[in-house]
Amino acid sequence: MGKTTGFMEFGRQLPRRRPVSVRLRDWKEVYEPFGEEATKEQGARCMDCGIPFCHDGCPLGNLIPEWNDLVFRDDWPDAMERLHATNNFPEFTGRLCPAPCEAACVLGINEDPVTIERIEYEIVERAWDEGWVTPQTPSVRTGKSVAVVGSGPAGLAAAQQLVRAGHAVTVFERAEKPGGLLRYGIPEFKMEKAVLDRRLAQMEAEGVTFVCSTSVGGGVAGASPGDEGAEPGEERGVGTACAPDVQVRPAAEVQAEFDAVVLAGGATLPRDLPVPGRELSGVHLALEYLKPSNLVQEGELRSPPISAKGKHVVIIGGGDTGADCLGTAHRQGAASVHQLEIMAEPPSDRMAENPWPLWPLILRTSSAHEEGGQRLFSVTTTEFVDDGSGAVRALRGHTVEMRTEDGRPVFEVVAGTEFELECELVLLAMGFVGTERRNAVDELGVEVGPRGTVVADQTWATNVDGVFVCGDQTRGQSLIVWAIAEGRSCASAVDRWLMGTTALPAPLVPGQLAMR
């Protein structure tokens, strides 16, 4: 415990966000610098609890009290080592994770919890600035090869662990560049892509080979895997959809070439909204909007094919993806933005039935919400209205009330609550329903469960010998911290399967749930 009375002397502090009027003029990250002394003070608030619930709150099992103490003692190199001992990419989680560790912090019982996520960010950013983050190459090569299909956080974590164990690792990515939704779904104002690129450069220096614009399975080149042969109205995968010049590698060919295959393609089948008018121009899935917006910031496109500039925008879905669309629409110059959520507005503080250390079910305000727009809760969409030319001009909906039936929520329309919202752009950000099938999943014959995800046993293995799975592709849509943890655990299982033993850590088992 760095400072015995630190939690009594210092209050919780976070860096300030840049003024809204300033940050809406660019796409840079929203936070101002925090400073070394402020970080050390926040580290001093950690009580080094006898039972550190933050460990259990974090799927990675991060050694939080240890690096908090090291920061307070000004031992930043050791703090960086302890941070990287459990997390391959703390610069990602330090920006994008909702911090379940903070929700489980013991100090949070009756005070504000320790600012764990920001301390993590400050440690890793200083490590990069000081040149402490260097390639870690194995002293011995095993002669074994592994193909990782998908380059999101789960695939990247698995690949880095496996290459450090001495295996030859090739990552296949169907989009133009590696990163998955880290690159094409997360806007610049949440994580600038230079942060991703420097970590990818480290992985390449360690020996990871990235093969992009390549789909493992999927049939027709140039089509998004999951599209070919789909029936009208059937859900299609978006995510990091294929580049126009995508190459298709038969899954069986990849399986024969490598000693093991790791499927880490995510849960990219979007939840659609089959209501009248869905086919109208101006109604888009969220990632159809976010990906080209990100490509503009990377210099790959001159202008976005779908823009909110000057338009009245409606976002359906109140989660992180909806907030990403909201911040993007603000920066593109939307005339107005409404964000619709079918659930009731959460309370501002914990309710009695939601005590510590459970995940607090409270209203959260992101930087994008701070920038403007209006949130509507307990509403559902019933129709998109045609402007007479095949484009959307308005959305019609109702207020709803929720009840529980057989443990599942049921939403009932409240009579007399009809409303209409003017809009020229509608973005569907209602989450994802599982993994795509018309790619390696179908071609390899791996089993898909009732939730639409690939089935894994306790060793992260599918029903096909030598084929493993991790991340959202087996877990379903989830958090970046779960993806990294599953990638690390899957890598350990693959290494053991190839070599008979492993020294790689395995923080999770398939199907493990957070304490909340």
Give residue-wise pLDDT tens across range 103-130. 999 999 999 999 999 999 999 999 999 9
How much is the pLDDT for 114? 97
Residues 480-505 have pLDDT tens digits of: 999 999 999 999 999 999 999 999 99
**Contact (CB, 8 A) for 148 and 262:** yes
pLDDT tens readout for residues 336-384: 999 999 999 999 999 999 999 899 999 999 999 999 999 999 999 999 9
Confidence of residue 14 (pLDDT cuts 50, 70, 90): very high
DSSP 267-318: --EE-----TTTTSBTEEEHHHHHHHHHHHHTTS-SS-SS--TT-EEEEE--
Cα separation of 461 and 468, whole Å? 4
Q: How confident is the model at residue 219 (pLDDT cuts 50, 70, 90)?
A: low
Per-residue model confidence (pLDDT) at position 3:
86
Residue 62 CA to residue 60 CA, distance in Å, equals 5
Among 222-226, 285-289, 315-319, 425-429, the range scoring the smallest mean pLDDT is: 222-226
Judged against a pLDDT cut of 90, whether residue 332 lies above it is answered with: yes
Q: Is the pLDDT of residue 300 over 80?
A: yes
Q: What confidence tens digit (pLDDT) does each residue in 402-444 have?
A: 998 988 999 999 999 999 999 999 999 999 999 999 999 999 9
Collapse the DSSP code of 408 into the 3-class scheme (helix H, G, I; strand E, B; otherwise coil) and give the result: strand
Per-residue confidence band for 231, with pLDDT thresholds at 50, 70 and 90: very low
pLDDT of 49 higher than 60: yes
- Common-topology check for domains 6-130 and 273-430: no
b/e per residue, 404-433, with b = 16+ CB within 10 A?
Answer: eeeeeeeeeeeeeeeeebebbbbbbbbbbb
CA 10 to chain CA mean position, Å: 32
Which residue did the predictor score with more confidence, 55 or 168?
168
Q: How far apart are CA 36 and CA 39, in angstroms?
A: 5
Structure tokens of 294? Answer: 């990100």
- The pLDDT score that the predictor gives to residue 345 is 96
Overall average pLDDT of the 155-159 stretch = 98
Residues whose CB falls within 8 Å of the CB of residue 169, separated by 6 or more in sequence, listed in order:
145, 146, 147, 148, 159, 162, 163, 207, 208, 209
CATH no. for 273-430: 3.50.50.60
Split at pLDDT 50, 70, 90, the class of 224 is: very low
Helix (H) or strand (E) holding 374: strand 374-377
Domain-by-domain residue ranges, the chain? 6-130, 145-269+433-499, 273-430
CB 505 within 8 A of CB 495: no
pLDDT of residue 243: 55
Least confident segment among 9-13, 486-490, 512-516: 512-516
Average pLDDT over the chain, rounded to an integer: 93
pLDDT at 207 over 60: yes
Q: Which residue has the higher pLDDT, 308 or 48?
A: 308
pLDDT of residue 489: 97
Predicted pLDDT at 304: 96
Superfamily of domain 145-269+433-499: FAD/NAD(P)-binding domain (3.50.50.60)
pLDDT at residue 281, as a whole number: 98
Q: What is the pLDDT of residue 422?
A: 98
The string of pLDDT tens digits covering residues 373-411 is 999 999 999 999 999 999 999 999 999 999 989 889 999
Question: Which has more confidence, 354 or 226?
Answer: 354
Q: Over the stretch 260-284, which tens digit does the pLDDT of each residue have? A: 999 999 999 999 999 999 999 999 9
Distance CA 381, CA 316 (A): 8
pLDDT at 238 over 60: no
Per-residue confidence (pLDDT) for residue 50, from 0 to 100: 87
What's the pLDDT score for residue 499? 98
Could you give the CA distance from residue 177 to residue 151 in angstroms, rounded to a whole number?
9
d(CA 220, CA 244): 11
Average pLDDT over residues 306-323: 97
DSSP 11-66: ----PPBPPHHHHTTS-S-SBPP--HHHHHHHHHT----SS-HHHHHSTT---HHH
CATH class of 6-130: mainly alpha
Task: Record the tokens describing residue 265, joined without a space.
Answer: 């393609």
Q: Find the range with the poorest average confidence among 72-81, 83-92, 235-244.
A: 235-244
The dihedral through the CA atoms of 373, 117, 270, 177 has a sign that is: positive
Cβ–Cβ < 8 Å for 156, 266 = no
Note whether 177 and 133 are within 8 A (CB).
no
Residue, of 507 and 172, whose pLDDT is higher: 172
Percent residues over pLDDT 90 in the chain: 89
pLDDT at 513: 62
Say how many C-beta atoms besides its own lie within 10 A of residue 515's C-beta.
12
Phi and psi dihedrals of 283, rounded to 5? -105, 115
**pLDDT higher than 70, residue 240:** no
